[in-house]
Copies of this chain bind each other. A is one copy, B any other.
Amino acid sequence: MLKMATQADAAAQPRAPLSRERVLSTAVALADEGGVDALSMRKIAQALGVVPMALYKHVANKNELLDGMIDVLVGEIDPPAGDADWKTVIRRRVLSARRMLLRHPWASEVIESRTKARATPTPAVMEYLDSMIGIFRAGGFSVDLVHHAMHVMGSRLLGFSQELFEDASGREPDPDALPPEEMAARYPHITELAMAVAHDEESVVGSGCDDQFEFEFALDLTLDGLERLLGTT
């Protein structure tokens, strides 16, 4: 009796019924606040008030869970907007994808690693890419040209992220960082660049350079290049 009562209470109050979506969204939330490395099945279960093995009734294993998380993220990207020309539609969509990636800093890493481990990207990613191709095609790109375009947009030419001066502030003062004069001696060009940038934007708080501006600059340079190609065909 008593037992039944407490069970009923527990069931009524804190126990939403658990589902694949609930698992995925709390996983995303946990990753957002603690990073993917700190994400474990056990912690997800705990956050849901459930025993770890319960999760396996809704996702096959951790990799499949990561795939599901990717699909959640891709779902956050705005659908292609309206009837503008290809350039602005692509531009908006890419910027929307970027906003998503900034909201979930762990995203690019897991997309990278999961995509390499699978035979094919997850369905949501496929759909995203498909619609992207569709925009180019509707804009008059030949099949060949859109193939090139996808490679251009998907490649990172430098193998390494450009996030060099990303929030020098905001971290605890790293003990084994080089003193500035050593920096200047060892990496003269980086130093020159960093100083110029910092000076340029001395009014701006936070990161030494306006990443959003730089990203859009890169995007526009590339889209202009593609447009020129389109014109000459």
Contacts and interface: CB of A to CB of B under 8 A. Distances in A.
Interface in A189-228: 189-190, 192-193, 196-197, 200, 209, 214-215, 217-219, 221-222, 224-226
Contact of A225 (B156, B197, B222): B222
A97 B159 contact: yes
A48 interface: no
B157 A94 contact: yes
A177 B120 CA distance: 8
Interface in A102-124: 105, 107-109, 111-113, 115-116, 119-121, 123
How would you classify the secondary structure of chain A's contact residues: helix, strand, loop or mixed?
helix
Copies in the complex: 2
B197 A147 contact: yes
A132 interface: yes
Contacts of A78: none
A123 to B, nearest CB: 8
A148 interface: yes
Contacts of A200: 144
A125 interface: yes
A133 B190 contact: yes
Those 4 A-B pairs whose CB atoms lie nearest each other, nearest first: A154-B162, A133-B189, A151-B214, A152-B218
